[in-house]
Structure 1
Amino acid sequence: MLPIFGDERRRREINLGGSTSVSSQAAILDQARARRMEREAQRKREESAIRIQAWWRGAREARRVRQQLRRVFQEEVTGFTALRCLVLVGQDEDILFMWSKRVSQDDALLFGPAQGPDRDSWITLLRRVAVLLLRSVSSRADVPAAVSHLKVLCKLLDPPSTAKLLGPSGNDLSLCISQWLVQNDLYQYLGRAITTIDPEAKNNPSLPYLVKLLYLPLINFSPSSELFARSFSALVSHVFALPLLPNRIPLTSLSELSGQLPLAHLHVLSLCISAIISITSTSSRINIVANLLAFTSPRYTTLPVSSLKAYLQLLSALLNGLPPHALEPPLPRDSQTPLTSWADDGDSDSERPAAIIALRSVLPALDARTRKRLQTLPSPTHLNSLLKPAQQHPELLSELVSMLFSLILVWPSRKDKILTTLLSYGGGGLNLSSLMDPSLGSYWPPLLLLTDLYTQSLLTMGDDEFFSGSRTTLTLSELIPFSRTLFNIAFTLYWREDQTKIQEVTDSGLNLSWESVRDRITKCLQAIHARDSRRPFMPEDHWHVNSQIDMNSFVEAAVYEEQQVDESAVPRPSSRRQLTHFPRLSPRLGVLNNIPFAIPFETRVLIFRRFVQNDRMNRGFNHFGPRGKTEASIRRTNIAQDGYDRLSDVDLRAPVSITFIDQFGEPEAGIDGGGVFKEFFTSLCKEVFDTDRGLWLANKKNEIYPNPHSYATESHSLDWYRFIGRILGKALYEGILVEVAFAGFFLAKWLGKQSFLDDLASLDPDLYQGLVFLKNYTGNMEDLSLNFTVAIEEFGVAKALDLIPNGSNVLVTRENRLQYIYLISHYRLSKQIKLQNEAFFEGLSEMIDPKWLRMFNQQELQILLGGVNAPVDLDDLRQHTNYGGLYDNEEPTIQAFWRVLESFDQEQRRAFLRFVTSCSRPPLLGFKQLNPYFAIRDAGSDEHRLPTSSTCVNLLKLPRYQSEKVLREKLLQAISSGAGFDLS
């Protein structure tokens, strides 16, 4: 053998003269290793040369044989021998075209061997040639040869054509070749072939034949066969996965394909869905959705229920196979979208849903026409066309809602359209008594997701955005039916007599307990109702069920249930988080503590007073009796400190008897009888809520809230907050009105509710406007130079606190700004005053059962504390007035008195009310709730005296004025100057 690479083999050089050229033993070993490696490389080169020579000889021989087969083929292009040569030569485009061109022009040449003795061999060869034609077309369907190939394939697979020439055996031929091609990846090749044609070249002559090949196999196979399902699945996986499939096909062929597609048998795909998902990419799944929508949606009304069900299952699976936000417009390339989570930091007042800004995947850009076709999917018209059969056939409901649920995940910006349609169905046809039917299990995911999304959006939504509708997920007109649907569901879940079932039932499809479902819906309802409470926009009685429930029986039952809870071993909640789920065993208390707005406010106030009354009786206290009474001496010059010292550790639910000590250290004359405490309380409130004392600050509306300064968190200050909480609890317990206005976000803490961005407007308007500006900012976020810190200043020193770990090094970007806005708001509204809130709430809870307070919202709680800001009803006051001394209702001075009051405007009437009761607002439920009743007592005949009052017992001491004019002047002088409180 001649050396190919030259004679590189040499004799080994052996040095017998010693190691004169090698300096060390290591060098000798290196040289030996190098020579060994060189010999190994030489051996591999020789082996490779031998293999190359063998391959070359084989390739040369194969080329010779193929050339010989081509010569034989050309001698007889359409004969049986030519067909055999065609198969043996393989993928030779020239002779394939020669053959297909000839036989496509003459059916006798194509089908002639079927009548001869070599029929079976001819069919075997024909099947293999069909695969060769298919492969050729898949590489270039836009060339003339492809048209001939496709004509032959269509003739072979078309039963009418084969039956016309061969009789009944023609059907068997088409079936046989169809089966062979499907088993050899027919639809993969057809999909590739279509993609080789320019989407805009609709006049390409290959397209009509390609379209025909898409449905011919499905005609050959029985719909009940495995091959039919396999073919249909492959058609969806490889052809419907092409972008713009309807746009690639000529109009005539498109109508043909639409008419021939066996959509009535879509149900066969139900067992192939997982296979379709497993072999398709993200972009392909999006295309399948778009193309299925184009071909199937016009035929919804004609599809069998089983096929429509499978169609919805397939859509749902395809959408579930897409990443979140997959159908949203792609983000700019320079956008950095970190996956961040607003994790609950464990604060007891941080009861909020976890807010997540999901990472939006960067997907291949979708063609504008595909995106436009996808717009149909969440449109009301399209969804209504699906909802109609779902209403007629309840078995479709589960699949439809699962599809909607999946659609919302991948296209959240379209949730408003989906929401409106879904609510229309839920409000129009859902039987609330069957809400827990397991067959409706998959109805819940989309509704709950929408609920969570809307609740989450409210975290960073100001009232201006909410009411303008410019950036909200729902318009007010959409919000009304949505909230009513949620309200009906929540009320049904709370109203069940056996509440233990609520906790135990878990639907496998939903994978959530009904208690969790109820709580999530409740959170959303509470947030919506809070907006409506501040600025009403709901229809009258939108939140009430009083037309369906007898309120008198409701009150009695609620009081009874409260007594049962008191007598049970159920422990009282120790935190607001526990209070969210308490009580669990009582339907009416569940309504009152979670969706209290279902019951009219006046009814809830009456229930509250009944709860207090029962509590007092259970403890053995009565308002004027001696049992358990606490006596305290209070110096008039030191009311706040003495009150703190004397009453911090006593049970304030018991009657408290106050004795005032004058400036000389002597007890003041007068009998308390339970009323002097009211004077003490009024004076105490003036002191402890004075913002100059440092415990409270006031906003621009003069509403107070705890001072966030660090000294307000010291133990001594927290003890004062705890004491003030107990004192206000005493006021609520006794029904004493307090003319102190609290900031709404602080009142929310009493009720265990979270605060939102819009609450910040009442605390720090400048910060609120800044955050709204940031939320809507469209410029370069880097120009703002913001990071995740908050600036605070104490004792003249400014410092920055991290809102998240290492927040000073985390810049605020367009993607994480909602997280920043939420954390800033949460810090200012909650974390800064967390300890103050907890101390205050601890004291308040000692007096008032926290679940009693949860019957009200912030605005209602303020009314409960300070009375209703309504006109003074003189008829009501007169009806509930007692008289003493020489006075009665017919006495001339009394008659003149009422005429004078009627001549007063509302401001003067409020001033009079403050003069005699210490509060300018009338009691919420009318003057019958004034305890004791308003009374007028004869104060003698000296007309030079001014009227005086004893606010502790709501008593007016009125001299017997003979002149109505004098009475008016003296009364106005007294109420405007605050003249003398008199205990005599």
Structure 2
Amino acid sequence: MWNPDGSGRHAPVNLSTHSSSSSSALLNNIRAERTAREEQRKREAAATVIQSLWRGRSAAARVQNELLDAFERGQFPSVERGVRALVVLLGQDRPATRQRVGKILEAWTTAARQVDGAGHPAFAAGLTDPEYLLVFALVCARILGFVSGSPRTQLAAHLLSSLDAFLEPAAWGAVPDAQRAAFVTVLASQQWVETGVKVLKDLVAASLPKRKHASLQPLVRLLTPAILPITTDSPFVPPLVNVLLAVPSLASSIPITSVPYLSTHLALFSALLPAAAANPELLSQNGLATELGRTHFLANLATFGINGGLLARNGRQGMTDWMKVVGTVIGTLGEGWGQWVERAGATGAAGAHTRALARAAETIDSDDEAGDGRKVHRPVLPASVSTKLLLLTSSDQLATLASFVLNSTSPGLLGDFADFVLGILKAFRGSTRWEATLDAVLEGKRGRASVKQLWREGVRGKWDSSRRGWDNWQQNPNTSVLLLLSHVYSHFLLLAPDDEFFESQSNPLSLDEVKELSTIWRDLAFWGYMNGVAEHPSSTSGTDEVRSLFTRAVTRVAERNARRKFAPDNFWVMQTDLQGFVEAVKDEDHVLSGESEEHQEGPRYRPRHLSRRQLAFSSPRIGLLNNLPMAIPFGTRLQVFREFVRADQERLGISRYDRRTRHKATIRRTNLAEDGFRQLNRLGPALKGTIEISFVDKWGQEEAGIDGGGLFKEFLTEMSKEAFDTERGLWLANNSNELYPNPHSYSTESHQLQWYGFIGRVLGKALYEDILVDVTFAGFFLAKWLGRQSYLDDLASLDRELYNGLVKLKNLPNPEDLELYFTVTEDDFGVARSVDLVPGGSDIAVTAANRHEYIQLVCKYKLDRQIAQQSRAFFSGLSDIIDPTWLRMFDQQELAQLLGGEETPIDLTDLRQHAQVTGYEDGYTPQLFWKVVAGFTQEERRSLLRFVTGCSRPPLLGFGYLNPGFAIRNGGADTERLPTASSCANLLKLPDYKNERVLRTKLLQAINSGAGFDMS
């Protein structure tokens, strides 16, 4: 019966005769069966191979046993018949038969060396037969292979001696050179040199320190057989280059009597170096595939080439090949290689001194951001190897090469020399040898001539000033010469005081040539920042390291020009379209600010800190402004600075009407500095906000007035006068009355360091608010604001007497006569004590070799170490207000102008044009005023400006940028009164004088009395 819910339905019945299994299962089964059959075929094939190999080995063993039996029964009476049997016999090395084979070889070689009545050895009888010759070559190679299995035995010594006799040139007199070459080819095909080096290493290990293994002498002769001179196309050349010369301490590992033979027959300069120079792939194979192997290779080259005198005796081609090979190999060495080598050679007390100087050298003239911080772990290097390697940087070797290049007319030689020296500089970066190499290139008249040659033959006229010069950097064939010149001349700029730079007898280049070279540096560095650096091997543009080098070099020249002008105005400015530059910088800064705030963990006012290198990568224009600011006009940079401040104020919501960023302070005029420190120091970065000042007079009464900015300006001006008073003990003045932090221990106390931090914030606030401060800092201290290292010329702004002494030391023929040591004497409140410049400095004498390190360490101590804590505190406070990247847009002189205005004569026409005069019924008194001021000296005009504005220097870019503007207001009809001023408003209150003499007298009396705010 049918049910509506379907419960009465029958189950479906499958009437098909097929299986219910799916087609996919069937395919899987087929695939598995196919795989099983394939595996079976492989097993069968493998079994066939094994069986064949077994049968072959069995047959070979059977043949070998038969030959052994035949030899032992005397069935090979002649040497010639025996040599053919030995080829087969030695084809398989089985431990079970090794002793029997050894006895047969001993007997055969003895017989082969027997001489006939004419004095001819038995083995030589068939050498003219080409077939015998090749078989004989195979036998010799296999005998050497047999020896390598146990080279220290008596049998091995006999066999090596026999091989040495076989290859004695006297026995080969009748053999043509072509057949000799064929013989050598067979030896090389059987890895003759490689096997010999294996034996050599074993015998060296078995030698006593003062007694070399006796078998080493014949073995050395076997490695360079004299039957055929080695030429560049000899098959022995590759293994001799990258196997034999990679043996550690090769010359000292063999008997001393073998060294002259090897030096003569190795054909180092006639074959090996030319072949390696033509085929540089040889220098990365076999033993030279590792850095350690290349290290021993260089040490061996130095032993034979420099110690052995071969380099000096091999002329133009020899020196060319030497520079190419050594330059290629040394260029492949890893970071820190030179320091590793130098430390290895530093043993005992002298070694400790060398290591101390090397550590100090790491901080001298280095681009700290250029390194990637990776450390390579290397094994201990024997001091003897290090000594040989350091010969590569010796002044004698470099002088030899440089003199040769000077006297050569070969067009490519200058590039080879540049590649060679650049390789050494790269390898020894961070060690004292880096500077020593540059010193050697610069040394004496020959050094100056080398610099001229690099410039005139390798650089001048060969560089495009457009962006193509940078974008196609890798394709210019003169890159290495420009790099070497940049390194060498930049080093000269580092060491030479200004007097030497401007002296034509000392400076390798004329000032016109310096300007032309600086233009090349500037252009390439500029486009390096604007277009970016190479980020992958296929890129043709320059690298970050190259860009940094050019930046450093052109900056040093620009600093010279700033101290003593020799280039025209705007010489450093790039002649390029800067339209939209400021807006582009603002956009980059906006992006940076967004990224900084995303990762920022700290107070709301905390500034971001990025290195120059980071900025160059992330923001090209800001990177340019921080690294190569002189390429952009000063006015443009000043505009960018103001835009940065304005953008920062917008980010922080700073507004005079915003209570959140407003802070009040009540300041007693009698305790202005102390009250300012007590109430404002705790604000930290919040000092960026609006500060409202209320003054309390000496009677304790609060002065009338609402601070609209003028009172704070006056506070800042007066605060600066007190804070920088040298009587307070925080600051000292040099002979030019320029200030720098007091280096005495008193200044490093906690409370004093807080004062340094507060003063840094106060000056930062002045910059932030565009308020000029009448203070002048020493040049070396301003350089620290910009994050720049201090050098010899900076010392002149601290201690002229010490500077002059170091300049004399630099040029003294025999500095050892002064008996100086790596120490300085420090005077702390009348107590003198000696301070080591490096660990153990009191035991390290100053010599001609290390005086540059001494000079720079003295500078570093005086300019950096003595005031390190004070400077850190000051700059920490300054950076609370002003981002350090903003200041790096300026040089030292521009920064001084940014702080206190321009050190230029006061332009009365500019002042009168922008002055606002109010309150006079007629223009007579203002006319008298301008007439009187026109008769003032520049010093009197500066006093007037200080009286009215609080600063004696005119504002940057002229009085049109003075904020608030210079103003003159009628001070009343009482002509007995003195003029007064409100410096907070840049306002002169001038009574309505009608007499020129009276106006002049009263005005001079007022400005020289120091009277100012609130006198009226």
Q: TM-score scaled by structure 1?
A: 0.65
- Correspondent of 1:316 among 328, 331, 349: 328
Q: Distance in 1 between matches of 2:962 and 2:389?
A: 69
Q: Distance in 2 between matches of 1:364 and 1:849?
A: 45
What is aligned with 1:559?
Answer: 586
What SS does the aligned partner of 1:762 have? coil
Match of 2:756 in 1: 721
Is it true that 1:379 corresponds to 2:406 in the alignment?
yes
User: Shift of residue 703 of structure 1?
Assistant: 1.0
Aligned equivalent of 2:909, options 875, 880, 892: 875
Equivalent residue number for residue 52 of structure 1 = none
2:647 is aligned, of 594, 604, 614, to 614
Residue 891 of structure 2 is matched in structure 1 by: 857
> Cα offset for 1:519?
4.6
- 1:633 and 2:661 are equivalent in the alignment: no
Q: Secondary structure at the match of 1:492?
A: helix
Out of 748, 767, 770, which is 2:783 matched to?
A: 748
Quick check: 1:880–1:928 contact (8 Å CA) kept in 2? yes
Q: 1:648 aligns to what?
A: 681
Partner of 2:833: 799
Q: Over residues 193-229 of structure 1, what are the superposed CA-to-partner deviations in whole Å (9 max), with x where a residue is unaligned? A: xxxxxxxxxxxxxxxxxxxx9999979xxx7x95898
Corresponding residue for residue 704 of structure 1: 739
CA contact (8 A) 1:401 1:442 kept: no
Q: Residue 696 of structure 2 corresponds to which residue in structure 1?
A: 661
Rounded Cα–Cα distance in structure 1 between residues aligned with 2:745 and 2:277: 68
Q: Post-superposition shift, 1:861? A: 1.0
The answer to whether 1:952 aligns with 2:984 is: yes
- Rate the CA distance shift 1:800–1:376 in 2: closer, same or farther, 3 A: closer
Aligned to 2:878: 844
Q: State which of 909, 919, 923 in structure 1 corresponds to 2:941.
A: 909
**1:662 and 1:361, CA in 2 relative to 1: closer, same or farther beyond 3 A?**
same
From 616, 637, 640, the counterpart of 1:604: 637
- Give the letter for the 1:953 counterpart: A
SS of residue in 1 equivalent to 2:796? helix
Q: Partners in 1 of 2:571 and 2:586 — Cα distance?
A: 25
How many residues are paired up?
Answer: 796
Deviation at 1:441, TM superposition (A): 12
C-alpha deviation, 1:596, in angstroms: 1.4
In 2, Cα distance between equivalents of 1:228 and 1:781 = 48
Note the C-alpha offset of 1:868.
Answer: 0.5
Farther off after superposition, 176-185 or 279-288:
176-185
Q: Secondary structure at the match of 1:904?
A: coil
Residue identity matched to 2:623: G
Measured after TM superposition, the shift of residue 467 of structure 1 is: 4.4
**Using the alignment, how far apart are the partners of 2:996 and 2:548 within structure 1?**
61
* Change in CA separation of 1:620 and 1:817 when aligned onto 2, cut-off 3 Å: same
Aligned with 1:649: secondary structure?
helix
> Once structures 1 and 2 are overlaid, which stretch shifts more, 945-954 or 578-587?
578-587
Do structure 1's residue 827 and structure 2's residue 847 form an aligned pair? no
Secondary structure in 1 matching 2:981:
strand
Asked if 1:531 corresponds to 2:551, the answer is no
Q: Could you say what secondary structure the match of 2:967 adopts?
A: strand
- Aligned CA distance change for structure 1 residues 513 and 342 (closer, same or farther; 3 Å): farther
Q: How big is each residue's C-alpha offset from its partner over 1:490-526, in whole Å with a ceiling of 9 and x where there is no partner?
A: 32332237xxx87xx365999x995555455544554
Secondary structure class of the residue paired with 1:343: helix
State the match for 2:1003 in structure 1: 971
The whole-number CA distance in structure 1 between the counterparts of 2:395 and 2:784 is: 50
Quick check: 1:549 aligned with 2:577?
yes
Q: In structure 2, the residue corresponding to 1:949 is in which secondary structure?
A: strand
Match 2:966 to one of 934, 937, 958: 934
Matches for 1:467-546 after TM superposition, within 5 Å = 467-468=502-503, 480=515, 483-496=518-531, 505=535, 507=537, 514-515=543-544, 518-519=547-548, 522-538=551-567, 541-545=570-574
2:621 maps to 1:588: yes
2:915 and 2:387 mapped to 1: Cα distance?
A: 73
The answer to which of 924-933 and 438-447 deviates more is 438-447
Separation in 1, partners of 2:747, 2:244: 72
Note if 1:892 corresponds to 2:904.
no
Q: Which amino acid aligns with 1:553?
A: G
Once residues 182 and 650 of structure 2 are traced to their aligned partners in structure 1, the CA distance between those partners, rounded to angstroms, is 92
Q: 2:802 aligns with which of 767, 777, 782?
A: 767
CA distance in 2, matches of 1:364, 1:616: 57
Q: Of 950, 954, 958, which aligns to 1:922?
A: 954
Query: 2:467, 2:524 within 8 Å by CA — same for their partners in 1?
Result: yes
Q: How far apart, CA to CA, are the structure 2 residues paired with 1:343 and 1:353?
A: 17
Task: Tell me if 1:676 matches 2:711.
Answer: yes
Structure 1 residue 881, shift from structure 2 partner:
1.8
Q: What CA distance in whole angstroms lies between the structure 2 residues aligned with 1:682 and 1:594?
A: 32
1:689 to 677, 702, 724: 724
**1:705 match: secondary structure:** strand
Alignment CA distance shift 1:898-1:174 (3 Å)? same
Alpha-carbon separation, structure 1, partners of 2:276 and 2:660: 83
Q: Is the 8 A contact 1:353 1:452 kept in 2?
A: no
Once residues 265 and 704 of structure 1 are traced to their aligned partners in structure 2, the CA distance between those partners, rounded to angstroms, is 60
Do 2:816 and 2:847's aligned partners in 1 also have CA atoms closer than 8 Å?
A: yes
Q: Quick one: distance in 1 between partners of 2:607 and 2:976?
A: 58
Report the Cα offset of residue 930 of structure 1.
0.9
Work out whether residues 458 and 478 of structure 2, in 8 Å CA contact, stay in contact via their aligned partners in 1: no
The 3 A distance-change label for structure 1 pair 289 and 525 is: farther
CA contact (8 A) 1:900 1:964 kept: yes
Is the Cα–Cα contact under 8 Å of residues 376 and 382 in structure 1 kept in the other structure? no
Q: Give per-residue Cα distances to partners, 1:776-808, cap 9 Å, x unaligned.
A: 4444738626354643323x4333344434544
What residue identity is the alignment partner of 1:487?
R
1: distance between equivalents of 2:845 and 2:425? Answer: 36
Aligned equivalents of 1:943, 1:644: Cα separation in 2: 41
**Cα distance, 1:826 vs structure 2:** 2.1
Q: Is the alpha carbon distance of 1:840 and 1:92 closer, same or farther for their aligned partners in structure 2, counting shifts above 3 Å?
A: same
3-state DSSP class of the match of 1:845?
helix
Greater displacement, 276-285 / 361-370:
361-370
Give the distance between the partners of 1:876 and 1:354, measured in 2 at CA. 46
1 CA distance for matches of 2:452 and 2:116? 58
**Whole-angstrom distance in 2 between the partners of 1:96 and 1:319:** 54
Worse-superposed segment, 956-965 or 451-460:
451-460
- Following superposition, the deviation at residue 529 of structure 1 comes to 3.5
- CA–CA distance in structure 2, aligned partners of residues 828 and 385 of structure 1: 45
2:86 is matched with none
* Inter-CA distance 882–621: structure 2 relative to 1 (3 Å threshold): farther
Deviation at 1:670, TM superposition (A): 4.4
- Relative to structure 1, the CA distance from residue 95 to residue 966 in structure 2 (aligned partners, 3 Å threshold; closer, same or farther) is farther
Secondary structure at the aligned position of 2:782 is classed as helix
How far apart in 1 are the matches of 2:907 and 2:983? Answer: 19
Deviations 1:592-635 (A, max 9, x none): 12221221222212221222233334444456888744333222
Contact 1:621–1:655 under 8 Å retained in 2: yes
Deviation string 1:534-564 (CA, Å, 9 cap, x unpaired) is: 233456544321x1132x4212222332233
Distance in 2 between residues matched to 1:785 and 1:368, nearest whole Å: 23
Could you give the per-residue CA deviations for residues 640-698 of structure 1, whole angstroms, max 9, x where no partner exists? 11222232234332333323222222123445432122222222222221111111111
* CA gap 1:807/1:281 in 2 versus in 1, 3 angstroms: closer
Q: Which amino acid aligns with 1:726?
A: R
Output the TM-score relative to the length of structure 2.
0.63
**CA distance 1:383–1:478, change in 2 (3 Å):** farther
Q: 1:380 to 1:981 in 2, by over 3 A?
A: farther
